[in-house]
Structure 1
Amino acid sequence: MKEVCKMTKALIVLTNHAKFETINRATGVWLSEATHFNQVMTEHQIDVDYVSPNGGYVPLDPGSIAPDQLDEVNNQFYNDADFRNRALGQSLQPSDINPRDYDVIYFAGGHGTVWDLPKSTALGQLAKQIYDQGGIVSAVCHGVVGLLAIQNADGSAFIKDKNLTGFTNEEEAINQLTNDVPFLAEDALKTAGAHHTKSDPYTEHVVTDGRLITGQNPQSARGVGEAVIKLLNA
């Protein structure tokens, strides 16, 4: 097994969408889905950049910074000025990114993603370029909807016939938000031709299919990072 090269670099994709459109409720990125993956990268000396569909400000889902969510890792990143500035205040826009600089792209979740990530053809093209040069495409929870923007050269869906997971219909029902999102992540993945698997609600579930790695829910974010490292070391 080779050791991960210190020049390895990861790109974390975050949402710009700050509010539900049908109810008076704020949303954005789910903090732990960015930080727990990021922590694994940090542990392996992998530099991280942050990008969003529009660049600039990235909203945090208020629920993700509730007292019961602020574990040690979340507290560490939330209180880190570099993270707040680069990830939440001044995220890069797709045109700022040279895909050749990255070995990994990771789509973090949060309900905001279902509004803007599937529409971002620029992010989809970046992900495909990283994949085509031998890189890893990864995603967790609602962030898997960012995979819907990735197309093959023939126009077919990148995830068609691939094994993956993502936030489930059952988990959305537990959230009582089934009727307040524009679509259900699980349904959209299946409609695009993916082979979707799942575990019990809010339990860790990570699926690796070649250089595509996905996690079901917030509990899976660190596991996705660890799977990325395992693949980089293979």
Structure 2
Amino acid sequence: MKKILIVLTNVTRYAHTTDATGLWLGEATEFVETVQAAGYQVDYVSPQGGFVPLDPRSMRYTDEANLTLYESTDFQQRALTHSLRPQDVQASDYAAIYYTGGHGVMWDFPENTDLQTLSLAILQQGGFVTSVCHGIAGLLNIQDRPGHYLIANRRITGFTTAEEILAGKKKVVPFLNQTVATNHGAHFVHKRAYKSFAIQDGQLITGQNPFSAKAVAQRLLTNLK
């Protein structure tokens, strides 16, 4: 059984501020809990490898299962301390790649060509590219051929402009996921703010917000059976 690759951010703060950000914990733990319960192993990668910070606000939205995984030696070591570098990962080992969110990804996911190359390789071998919330930023600039965005003419979702306004971060993020996705030809679909929602278009599976991680995992598992 092939593994699933979890992509995490290395960014510790909103650019040019002292406001801390990083991985939104539940977007990793809820997905990982779900796929591990189905028998899948996971690896963790980040743009730079190594340390992965947590968005402190995400710790307010935890339950016993989230905390148990967070406190595990495996997660502390392989996800938060010694995440892999993209160039050290072999796409052939994975059935899917999953881009987590947290505002930090807005700075280190969009232009990372190594992650883009991994994603395309996983797609080309029949695997799936998935994301949740701000993690859609990792998909926005992938080109499956010169001048053509992977998300063009695809139905996708991610953290909406309305949700960014409600989060109070519209003025500090470098771009708006919904706007860029639309500009790159995607059919951006969304439901009520902060409600679980995931959508699939072919080998792409995307979730709207932090409450959608399990829904993404469940859609992926349905395809991997």
Q: TM-score range by the shorter chain?
A: over 0.9
How many residues align? The count is: 225
Which string of whole-angstrom CA distances, capped at 9 and with x for unpartnered residues, describes residues 115-144 of structure 1?
Answer: 010010110110000001000110000000
Quote how far apart the aligned CAs of 1:74 are: 1.3
Amino acid at match of 2:198: V
- 1:80 corresponds to 2:72: yes
The answer (yes or no) to whether the contact 1:164–1:196 under 8 Å persists in 2 is yes
Moved more, 149-158 or 159-168: 149-158
Structure 1 equivalent of residue 189 of structure 2: 197
Q: 2:115 aligns with which of 123, 129, 133?
A: 123
Amino acid at match of 2:56: P
Q: 2:18 aligns with which of 14, 24, 33?
A: 24
Show the 5 A alignment for 1:1-234: 7-66=1-60, 69-233=61-225
Quote how far apart the aligned CAs of 1:175 are: 0.8
The answer (yes or no) to whether the contact 1:22–1:180 under 8 Å persists in 2 is no
TM-score, normalised on structure 2? 0.98
CA distance in 2: counterparts of 1:169 and 1:149, whole angstroms? 18
CA distance in 2: counterparts of 1:227 and 1:60, whole angstroms? 26
Quote how far apart the aligned CAs of 1:151 are: 1.3
Give unpaired runs (5+ residues) of structure 1.
Answer: 1-6
Give unpaired runs (5+ residues) of structure 2.
Answer: none
Quote how far apart the aligned CAs of 1:154 are: 2.7
CA distance in 1: counterparts of 2:11 and 2:180, whole angstroms? 19
CA distance in 2: counterparts of 1:219 and 1:206, whole angstroms? 10
What is the root-mean-square deviation of aligned Cα atoms in Å? Answer: 0.9
CA distance in 2: counterparts of 1:185 and 1:172, whole angstroms? 9
Determine helix, strand or coil for the equivalent of 2:205: strand
Amino acid at match of 1:205: F
Quote how far apart the aligned CAs of 1:204 are: 0.8
Structure 2 equivalent of residue 3 of structure 1: none
Determine helix, strand or coil for the equivalent of 2:145: coil
Quote how far apart the aligned CAs of 1:211 are: 1.0
Determine helix, strand or coil for the equivalent of 1:119: coil
Determine helix, strand or coil for the equivalent of 1:139: strand
Determine helix, strand or coil for the equivalent of 2:110: helix
TM-score, normalised on structure 1? 0.94
CA distance in 2: counterparts of 1:142 and 1:97, whole angstroms? 23
Which string of whole-angstrom CA distances, capped at 9 and with x for unpartnered residues, describes residues 55-100 of structure 1?
Answer: 000110001112xx12122111111011011001000001110000
Quote how far apart the aligned CAs of 1:150 are: 1.7
Determine helix, strand or coil for the equivalent of 1:144: helix
CA distance in 2: counterparts of 1:99 and 1:149, whole angstroms? 19
The answer (yes or no) to whether the contact 1:121–1:149 under 8 Å persists in 2 is no
